[in-house]
Structure 1
Amino acid sequence: MYLKKHILLSLTLLLLCISNISGQITLPKILGHNMVLQQQKKIPVWGTAAAGEKITVTFAGQRKNTVADQSGNWMIKLNPLKASFQAREMSIQGTNTIVLKNILVGEVWLCSGQSNMEYAMRKYSDYQTKTKGYHPPEDDLNNADNTNIRIFLDRRKYMDPSPEHLGWDNAMGKALVDFSAVGYYFAKDLYAKLHVPIGMISAAVPGSRIEPWIQASKMEIEPKLKNGQILGKLSNDGGDAGKFYDTMIEPLLPYSIKGILWYQGESNCFLGENIRYAYKLKTLIQSWRNDWKDKQLPFYFVQIAPYNYSASKDRPLTVKSLPEFWEAQALNLKLKNTELVTITDLTDTITELHPGYKWEVGRRLSLTATNKTYGMQNVVYSGPRFQKMKLENNSIEISFTHTGSGIASRDEKPLTGFTIAGADKKFVAAKAIQQGDKVMVSAPGVPHPYYVRFNWNEAAQSNFINKEGLPAVPFRTDNPWEKLF
């Protein structure tokens, strides 16, 4: 098997060398027919050719030249363009000429992660039976017909340059079958709000930990907490650092994008990670931003869904392991231009690691982008989030941000999911009373309360929402990492 792979690799390299010697231009897989180019940013166009070969790129009234370097690499950056539904052609000319057809200009997003992001549209044969959150008005898998939404499925074994220049497709028919449902529904909702072409790139691998998505050299760090404590090298956790970065992310660079959507964590949660995962996610965000040379690149991530991790036989996990992981994810809100999407309400059973409702996950990500990236501040994108607490006799008053039109109960019953404790940290179920946009929390057996936790259980699915129907974000007032991260 090794010999076969070695021979195939040698043949591939030989063919590329022959093409370069003969002056044949080659393009990365991401540059092809039907692609969407990012508006209002410089547009890199790059590839390989013979050393010293003159390359000319023509598109949308622009004509730019460059010369391939001694290694045969070249790059041209087109000036920023406005969004356009006009299907135009791009010419790349050297010894040979490549013409890419049917190109639009609009908004381009990369969605990445593990199986819940990879979760394909073809898995929605039973979507009509789902009852929670927003529900699609139609069967998109069979009825999608918007040619202004384009998709590129990043397959790690098929990212080599291709003479056919295929890869991008209209989001419909056979092409849509295997594409990320979260990515598609994000694009559909965003298109309805922006009315510009949308391009989605999906790079996700089922079961993947976060480490393979980070360039191996970037993992060789020892995170230092604010109290001076050293966590130890992140790479010590194994996980094939860089494996998917090298084969799926690097081949996309430096294709111009608007932002990144991330839905991953289950595999790391099974390992009982918390603060170490927070630093890994921070490393991924910062390193990918550096790769795209944009320190402000929007990065929006999904908090993983409720699941009975404590039933795992491989690790000594508890019902608190998942909430601690949620907390670790949320710590990265300290980075600029990051946001999270909470989906504690979007599962029918905690024995399902891949819950449905991916259309609602996509919609919530779109709400986030609409508000945070595109400035539509009237769009509510999050449920209530803990802001501060105040001791009031035998109760604790909790204040929240992201209350939208006001906090509410999904079933109009008393708010659930709250626990309370005194200084001894012996938590008991609490009574939660809504007072405007604040909540008063108390328990008869806790005369001197000191701490409050909300949804601090892997199975917790509280009825606490805002009037826009978005669930409150899990929290604990005794977060040990808040001042250390």
Structure 2
Amino acid sequence: MTLKKNLFLLSAFFLFTSTIFAEITLPKILGHNMVLQQKKKVAIWGTATAGEKISVAFAGQNKSTITDKSGNWMINLNPLKASFEAREMIIKGKNTIVLKNILVGEVWLCSGQSNMEYAMRKYSNYETKTKGYHPPEDDLTKANNTNIRIFLDRRKYMDPDPEHLGWDAAMGRSLVDFSAVGYYFAKDLYNKLHVPIGMISAAVPGSRIEPWIQSSKLDFEPKLKNGKMLNKLNNDGGDSGKFYDTMIQPLIPYTLKGFLWYQGESNCFLGENISYAYKLKTLIESWRNDWKDKKLPFYFVQIAPYNYSASKDKPLTTETLPKFWEAQALNLKLKNTALATITDLTDTITELHPGYKWEVGRRLSLIAANKAYGQKNVVCSGPVFQKMKTVNNTIEISFSNTGSGLVSRDGKSLSWFSIAGADGEYVPAKAEIKGNTVIVSSPEIAHPYSVRFGWNEAAQSNFINKEGLPAVPFRSDNPWKKLF
């Protein structure tokens, strides 16, 4: 027998034995220090030898299964109660894995582009920021709550880790590179719920929405309610599925409470509006289907004011951003969705990455407290346009989410309202608060027909509710409202 043949047989033997006696392998998301979702069945999964018996023991439960012919296995633990007790999970097959320091509480996945990825380490000018709520101390250096755990999803490092070290407490070196929005959401939610919080951050700077959607899900033509077909969405040159495949799919089916989404700037630069609305709808519905829960909360951030019209790559106007805001808001028609408005959280419209991430996180946590956790006393939104009616030469506007009442932030007349007659030519309007309505008028418009608020990329209005949350930009002549 030749040396070459001996080497071939030897390598074949090792390949054969490694297949027969493959050890249990866990996805990276399952590891020491993780937080498991309370009050839901908890998915634990991995790979091993085909036909191997696998058992999982945790919190008094002991469940087992047999791997399929490809070596895949999954066990669902019964719903667990929130617990600060650091417990072990023992996973046995031909080998044994012991995962330590596991808590049970609430788990959220936050995703998007650079404003979601915006890391805690970027707070060099922390003390000079004054808008919105301001934390009493610099959490980057002083955070010490070991009951908030974080997992940073890095697209090139999601292969199984034999050390199971993906999760850590939100403090010290581990917190430096983590999403500031995700952390401050967790911090504020912890203070409201008093249970462990687990945050998973999967965000990539500059990313469009298409890479976060499985490629096959984008290959369709949206049909509007009037029967008109939009252009086929497909990839649109946006590397569809690129980050879904490497960052989202490896997390499925880790049991979650819900999703946080902060993305849109890259698509806004392309002048998108209704097409983005359908892409976001596709992402929401496809992620919910992936996690086999059509009711999973999905809360998203309406991107901040910015001078997109100054872009030299594509002809954009001062209305490009408001139309994008409108497209984002269309997805509020889906159940269990909500929007955090941040038109007031930037110092200059030349800054694409406003620094007030603690306030963005807090506003998202207000939404979660109210909608996901039933704390109806928590006001979670600024005023939202409901309807208008013409009264003589004025327009009377009604709002929802008025909180404790409507006010002007600076005590001056409300800004960024405009009205138009039947010709559709808008002019600035005087706007006055009357109870929970706003009355708008202009001496230039004798017979007002429609109204707009904040309909400009630079709009940072003083119109808020008494809880300090800004009104959501709108136009009463929204052409997509009845078609989406």
Q: Which residue is equivalent to 2:102?
A: 103
One-letter code of the match for 1:265? G
Query: Could you list the per-position Cα deviations for residues 221-249 of structure 1 after superposition, in whole angstroms to 9, with x for gaps in the alignment?
Result: 11000111111221151201100000000
CA distance in 2, matches of 1:268, 1:66: 45
Measure the CA separation in 2 of the matches of 1:260 and 1:127: 27
Which residue is equivalent to 1:134?
133
**Secondary structure of 1:234's partner?**
coil
* Per-residue deviation, 1:20: 4.2
Who is 1:116 aligned against?
Answer: 115
Counterpart of 1:372 in 2: which secondary structure? helix
Letter in structure 2 aligned against 1:359: W
Which amino acid is the alignment partner of residue 389 of structure 2?
K
Q: Partner of 1:447 in structure 2?
A: 446
1:420 maps onto 2:419 in alignment: yes
Whole-Å separation in 1 of the counterparts to 2:138 and 2:20: 50
Counterpart of 1:146 in structure 2 is: 145
* Correspondence 1:249-328 to 2 at 5 A: 249-328=248-327
Q: Distance in 2 between matches of 1:295 and 1:15?
A: 45
Q: Does residue 242 of the first structure (1) align with residue 255 of the second (2)?
A: no
Q: In the alignment, is the contact (CA less than 8 A) between 2:301 and 2:341 conserved in 1?
A: yes
**1:375 and 2:379 aligned:** no
**Residues 131-187 of structure 1: CA deviation (Å, up to 9, x unaligned):** 100001001000000000000000000000011011000000000000000000000
CA distance in 1 between partners of 2:69 and 2:247 (Å): 26
Deviations 1:269-321 (A, max 9, x none): 00000000000000000000000000000000000000000000011100000
Is the Cα–Cα contact under 8 Å of residues 20 and 48 in structure 1 kept in the other structure? no
CA shift for structure 1 position 328: 0.1
Paired residues in the alignment total 472
Distance 1:456 1:23 in 2: 60
| Counterpart secondary structure, 2:234 | helix
Change over 3 Å in CA distance of 1:63–1:141 after alignment to 2: same
CA contact (8 A) 1:37 1:106 kept: yes
- Shift in CA distance, 19/434, structure 1 to aligned 2, threshold 3 Å: farther
> Which residue type is aligned with residue 29 of structure 1?
K
Percent identity (aligned): 80
How do 1:49-128 residues align onto structure 2 when only pairs under 5 Å count? 49-128=48-127
State the distance in 2 between where 1:106 and 1:482 align. 38
Contact 1:213 1:241 in 2 (8 A): yes
Deviations 1:345-402 (CA, angstroms, capped at 9, x unpaired): 0000000000010000000000000000000000000000000001000000000000
Paired residues of 2:215 and 2:235 also in contact (CA < 8 A): no
The Cα shift of 1:432 comes to: 0.3
Does the 8 Å CA contact 1:23/1:94 hold for their aligned counterparts?
Answer: no
Aligned equivalent of 1:36: 35
Q: Take 2:123 and 2:462, find their aligned partners in 1: how far apart are those partners?
A: 26
Alignment partner, residue 6 of structure 2? none
Residues in 1 aligned to 2:70 and 2:191: alpha-carbon distance in whole angstroms: 45
**Unpaired segments of 5 or more residues in structure 2?**
1-12
Return the offset for 1:126. 1.0
- 1:205 corresponds to: 204
Tell me, in whole angstroms, the C-alpha distance in 2 between the residues paired with 1:195 and 1:167: 24
Asked if structure 1 preserves the Cα contact closer than 8 Å seen for 2:418 and 2:452, the reply is yes
Cα contact 2:402–2:436 (8 A) shared by 1? yes
* Kept after mapping to 1: 8 A contact 2:42/2:254: yes
Partner Cα separation in structure 2 for residue 114 and residue 411 of structure 1: 33
Letter of the 1:199 partner, please give it.
G
> Measured at CA, do residues 50 and 409 of structure 1 come closer, stay the same or move farther in structure 2, by a change above 3 Å?
same
Q: Aligned-pair distance for 1:22?
A: 2.0
Aligned to 2:405: 406
Q: What is the Cα deviation at residue 18 of structure 1?
A: 6.8
CA distance in 2, matches of 1:439, 1:45: 53
3-state SS, counterpart of residue 209 of structure 1: coil
3-state DSSP class of the match of 2:224? Answer: coil
Secondary structure of the structure 1 residue equivalent to 2:54: strand
Note the C-alpha offset of 1:437.
1.0
Amino acid at match of 1:467: K
Change in 2 beyond 3 A, CA 1:236/1:214: closer
- Structure 1 residues 434 and 17 mapped into 2: Cα distance closer, same or farther (>3 Å)? farther
> TM-score, normalised on structure 2?
0.96
Specify the alignment match of 2:175 in structure 1. 176
What is the deviation of 1:17? Answer: 8.5
Change (3 A) 1:134 1:96: same
Structure 1 residue 23: Cα displacement: 2.8
Q: Given the superposition, is the C-alpha separation of residues 19 and 214 from structure 1 closer, same or farther in structure 2, using an over 3 Å criterion?
A: farther
Q: Does 1:354 pair with 2:363?
A: no
State the alpha-carbon separation in 1 of the partners of residues 339 and 245 from structure 2: 26
SS of aligned partner of 1:100: strand
Q: Is the 8 A contact 1:36 1:107 kept in 2?
A: yes
Question: Deviation at 1:21?
Answer: 3.1
- TM-score, structure 1 as length reference: 0.96
CA distance in 1, matches of 2:442, 2:17: 77
Which runs of no fewer than 5 residues in structure 1 stay unpaired? 1-13
